[in-house]
Amino acid sequence: MIKRYFNAAIVYASLALACGVFYREFTKYTAFTGKTNLAFLHTHYFMLGMFFFLALALLERAFAFSAQKGIKGWVTVYHIGLNIATACLFLRGLAQATETVLSPALNGSLSGMSGIGHILLGSSILALLIFVRRAAIAIKE
Model confidence at 125: pLDDT above 90: yes
Q: pLDDT value at position 141?
A: 60
CA distance 129 to 74: 11
CB of 46 closer than 8 Å to CB of 12? yes
Q: pLDDT value at position 138?
A: 84
pTM above 0.75, yes or no: yes
Assign 139 a pLDDT band (cuts: 50, 70, 90).
confident
Q: pLDDT value at position 19?
A: 95
CA distance 96 to 107: 12
CA distance 46 to 40: 10
**pLDDT tens track for 64-111:** 999 889 999 999 999 999 999 999 999 999 999 999 999 999 999 999
